[in-house]
Amino acid sequence: MRKRFVVAIAAALAAVAGMASFERQAGATLLRAALDERAGLDRTASLGDGLHVALCGTGSPLPDPTRAGACTVIIAGKHIFVVDSGEGGARNIVLMGIPNGRIEGVFLTHFHSDHIDGLGPMMLLRWTGNGATSPLPIYGPPGVERVVAGFDAAYALDSGYRTAHHGPVIAPPSGAGGIARPFAIPPRGSNDRVVVFDADGLRVSAFRVDHGPVDPAVGYRFDYKGRSVVVSGDTTTSPALVAAARGTDLLVHEGLQPKLVKLVTAALTRRGITGTAQITRDILSYHASPEAVAREAQAAGVRFVVFSHVIPQMPSRLMYPAFLGDARQLYDGPIMVGEDGMMFSLAPGSRGVEFTRPPIG
């Protein structure tokens, strides 16, 4: 009896060991297959010439496991730029199959933490992604110099370690960090725009928006081969934005639904979290509701609206109608809530906007 028991135990242990060996082999096989499919993936290679917009971050400072911080990729011909660099945005760019090493620059709309706190990874992945020999240009209104200098100082030791470890071919010392590209912005009350980049048929212009007390704050318009995209940055209603978005094909606009935020405030108050509750009251004053954006888009003749920097958190798509509120009744074009990973393509010679949802990961 005892012998049979020992044999049974030995057989069970052998089976467990065999299973563990199988799991190790299966895990390695699965990883190999995933690497064969994704390593070095460049989804931009299959994009036709035109203006393409990828949402690499549609969240806000309110924690949301499904959304990275503010981040939008603009692809125009051979150019790849990023608007804002919120936490997690650089990671999502990789997961979307967009080569970080080809990013030519970052346009910052303002200096709130959730729009800049991903600059470290953005600079690092672009630097090591192609052995860049010059820093990442970071465009922004006055003050961008301080932001870039701060990140460069914070990452100086890390940059030195990486060059020492990987060598100057992979991590050239001259390519680490960022370099500020400040530009003057129009005066308050002006609907003017200033051109901040103009090459190869791509023109990028900036305009002042109203995110007070945050100042300066800007939005950007991208024009390429007869197609156009406007990224609002953070703003309440703004005549300058309406002027900049006149006739644009796609408006990527921040959005806050006051009715839902008030529910958040009430819940926080009930739990005695008074500090955060006050913050959720304060943010009502310097963001735009979906209804307000819909009115502005209608007045500007915008052809397609997508919301980013979504407030409050949207844990389920079932909440989207409540977020949009009456916006669909106030705007007669397509309007939708953005999600991380979405891509919009605007082909030259067309008026259409093609929407796709490539998988992240």
Could you tell me the two tokens for 246?
A: 């006149």
User: Angle at which helices 119-130 and 144-154 pack, to 10 degrees?
Assistant: 70
- Return d(Cα 128, Cα 11) in angstroms, integer: 50
Q: Could you tell me if 83 and 220 are in contact, meaning their C-beta atoms sit under 8 angstroms apart?
A: yes
Could you tell me the two tokens for 146?
A: 């301080």
Active site residue 200: no
Query: Which residues have CB under 8 Å from 117's CB, separation 6+?
Result: 69, 85, 86, 87
- Return d(Cα 49, Cα 41) in angstroms, integer: 19
Could you tell me the two tokens for 2?
A: 């005892």
Q: One of 64, 84, 114, 152 is an active-site residue; which one?
A: 114
Q: Could you tell me if 53 and 351 are in contact, meaning their C-beta atoms sit under 8 angstroms apart?
A: no
Main-chain phi, psi angles of 313, to 5 degrees: -60, 145
Catalytic residues: 114
